[in-house]
Chains A and B, each alone.
Chain A
Amino acid sequence: MSEDFYILLIQKQLSGNITPDENDQLKAWLSNSESNQKVYDDLLLAWDHLPIEKIESETDKEWQKLDAKIQKKNNTRTIRMAPILGIAASLLLLVSAFIWINNDKGVSVIAPQDGYVSTLPDGTSITLKKGSELAYSDDFNTNRTVQITGEALLNVTHNPERPFQVVGADITVTVLGTEFIFADGEKDNRANVQLIDGKVSVLSNSSKANYTLLPQEQYLLTPDTEKKVSSIKLKDYSWYQPNYEFDDVALSKVLDLISKYEGIKVTATEINSCRFTGNLTGMNLTQIVANISALYNADTKDGEGAYVIIGGDCQ
């Protein structure tokens, strides 16, 4: 496959439209050579620096005007340089390249819309609420630390040798590899971490108290209190829309995933091994359970913060 093919895959990945197969293909290509990785890094940097405001689409007339202007500008762009100066400059280029490599610019991005996904060099994906800010330095590969102001869902690539740290205004979260919601910095002295999967440690920047969270637990900081709660409520973060699109997946797995994201246990008695294909994205939990029950001719029992799908068959 040509480089163009992978450039297209990178665009699909950055815009969140990549399929798992394509993602594997891209990963394999990236690990092939450093120059492939450089292509990805450059495009990621460009993507993170796209102008935030809408790119206006001009009418033909305006476009022609702009085109003429650009051509004019291009004509005056020729640079001539005395050869000796060129040689001297080339030598200096080497020196400056060294300095440039050591010059940490970092990456900083403010989410232009809800659900904006930023993929870090280690494969970690961060979904941001509109207006939330993410920043990390150029040495991210050796020091996995990001700063977040606002709300985000993080899906951290597992690496036991290099813990991943999220620094916020009020709290610091340390993880190995996991998925969780992070919210800090929108209002003073208020923060929230909701753990979907894995294990994280939350450190309060002011009280220095340390909390370890397990799946389905959350850490809550308000001006009056700081505590661990043994349930999660991802619904509070309506900007984040979990993807519930399934293609021939065992229903037990579908229900596990939905339970994880909705914070409410959904189980089935009979139809766990049935295969499920369909898209439940955007529905609320009641609708999801009703749809699944109807599909398999099952009944639903709802109570005490849990749903049970009873009976039904795979036909």
Chain B
Amino acid sequence: MGAGEEPLTFQKSKSENPHDLAERKELTEYIRAAINDLPERCRLIFTLCKEEGLSHKEVAEKLDISTKTIENQITKAMKSLRAAVTRYQSLDMWAWGIFIFELLERIKI
């Protein structure tokens, strides 16, 4: 079967597009900032859950604190992440707004 004879027609996934890559990176920067802005303890708990894939109970045992505390801190971290996404989205809208505003200004003149 001549699978190797024809050139590949597959378009590389979206992230290969420099524009998309830039946008993705930008959102990741917002998320990174949001994580960095978390209080140290909250960040540590979130990191343990996220990167080591530990359950809330396992993190509670590891740090010797209650599961309730873990859950409160995780909720707090998740809310910060959501706020970062909202900020990112609204900023994107502002960028368009300012662009159109300037465009209209120019047309008027």
Q: Are A88 and B101 in contact (CB under 8 A)?
A: yes
Decide: A11 near B74, CB < 8 A? Known: A45-B27, A108-B20, A189-B3.
yes
Interface string of A83-118 (1 = CB under 8 A from B): 000001100110111011001011010100100000
Q: How far is the CA of A221 from the CA of B44 in the complex (A)?
A: 45
Nearest A residue (CB) for B48? A57
A135 to B78, CA, bound (A): 23
Stretch of A163-171, A251-259, A269-277, A294-302 with 4 or more beta carbons under 8 angstroms from chain B: A163-171
Please state if B20 and A46 are interface contacts (CB–CB under 8 Å). Answer: no
Which residues on A sit within 8 Å (CB–CB) of B14? 106, 108, 135, 137, 147
Q: Is the CB of B53 within 8 A of A47?
A: no
Q: In the complex, how many residues of chain A place their beta carbon closer than 8 angstroms to a beta carbon of chain B?
A: 63
Is there an interface contact between B31 and A92, defined as CB atoms closer than 8 Å?
A: no
- In the complex the two chains form, what is the Cα distance from A225 to B43 in whole Å? 50
Of B37, B98, B101, most A-chain CB atoms within 10 Å: B101
Taking a contact as CB atoms under 8 Å apart, the answer to whether A49 and B100 are in contact is no
Known contacts A45-B27, A51-B32; decide if A96 and B43 are in contact (CB<8 Å).
no
Partner of B81, one of A4, A47, A167: A47
A170 and B13 contact, CB distance less than 8 A: no
Residue of A nearest to B70 (CB): A8
Which B residues have a C-beta under 8 Å from some C-beta of A? Answer: 1-6, 8-10, 12-15, 20, 23-24, 27-28, 31-32, 35-37, 40, 43-44, 46-47, 49-51, 53, 55-56, 71, 74-75, 78-79, 81-82, 84-86, 89, 92-101, 104
Min distance, Cβ B89 to any Cβ of chain A, angstroms: 8
**Contact (Cβ within 8 A) A51 B35:** yes
13 A-B pairs with C-beta separation under 8 A: A4-B75, A7-B82, A11-B49, A15-B50, A42-B85, A42-B86, A95-B100, A96-B97, A100-B89, A100-B92, A168-B10, A189-B4, A207-B2
The A interface, classified by DSSP as helix, strand, loop or mixed, is mixed
Max chain B CB contacts within 10 Å: which of A46, A204, A205?
A: A46
**Could you tell me if B82 and A43 are in contact, using CB atoms closer than 8 angstroms?**
yes
Cβ contacts A1-21/B at 8 Å (1 or 0 each) = 000100110111001110000
Is the C-beta of A149 less than 8 angstroms from some C-beta in chain B?
yes
Known: A7-B78, A106-B20. A95 touches B28 (CB 8 A): no
Compute how far the CA of A89 lies from the CA of B92 in the bound complex, rounded to whole angstroms: 13
Q: Which residues of B contact A68 (CB under 8 A)?
A: none
Contact partner, B28, options A17, A49, A106, A188, Cβ 8 Å: A49
Closest B residue, CB atoms, query A116? B53
Decide: B3 and A57 in contact? CB cutoff 8 A: no
For B32, the chain A residues whose CB sits under 8 A away are 51
Q: Give Cα distance in the complex from A15 to B79, angstroms.
A: 16
The answer to whether A55 and B51 have CB atoms under 8 Å apart is yes
A88 to B98, CA, bound (A): 10
Residue pair A57, B85 in contact (C-beta under 8 Å): no
Which A-B residue pairs are the 5 nearest by beta carbons? A96-B96, A46-B81, A135-B13, A108-B15, A92-B97
Q: Is the CB of B6 within 8 A of A46?
A: no
In the bound complex, CA of A97 to CA of B94 (Å): 9
Contact between chains at A226 and B3 (CB < 8 Å): yes
Q: Is the CB of B49 within 8 A of A46?
A: no
